[in-house]
A and B are shown apart, each in its own frame.
Chain A
Amino acid sequence: MREALAGAFEAAPSMRHYVLDEQGAVRKHVAVFVNARMIADRSRLDVGIEPGDRVFVIQALTGG
């Protein structure tokens, strides 16, 4: 999955710091799913994916 995200960031470099913080972790109020399953650890992106899998980056709930 890390490579899949890296590919997206290469295509749109400014996206990187919207999705990840400066330590490389997924931001607290962003959620990443592989197909229907949310990744468990924001700082561990080395999640295996298979051809045909879909990675979703979504806005979790925040605000006020």
Chain B
Amino acid sequence: MSTIVLSLLIAGVAGFLAYRLTLRRVPHLIMRRAMATIGKAAGGTNRLFHGKRPTATARQVVMPAPDLIYSSCVYDLSWGPVRLQGPVAEGYWSLSAYAENTDNFFVANDRELPERRFDVVLTRKGERLPAEFAGVTAIPAPSDRGILLIRMFIGDGSALDHIRDIQQAMRCDVLPRH
């Protein structure tokens, strides 16, 4: 009888742990799939992929917003800090960063960048940048891999040419690690 009681106790604990583990793994699995898809479209990690206006064929990420145009980059800090820079679009524009567990750990929009340019470096936590990058915004990332996403509002559609120009002027570079 004691074996059965002990088994029931262990089963309860194992069930609880399996529940927690499943919930914890789901975001990582879905994020990895999204990173693989975006990374493939961009030609690798730490490279920008410039999307077009989402349609029903857009299957990279659930609930794509058809009122936005996205540029995205799968970052991988194991190669070094990742620098992203470029002009900010007229109208709504935002840059957001996501960790491997899906957390949105950084966001800035056009209203917070009155100079109409952005220049950020994603780093590992505690990592210091050389003095030559003193004016650049350093963003410590909670994970080595994740996604950088730039959203640009299409509005009534008249901004599409402007947004394409903005996309072409963006740069993503890996910096040497010191």
Chain A bound to chain B: no
Which positions in A face B, CB cutoff 8 Å?
A: none
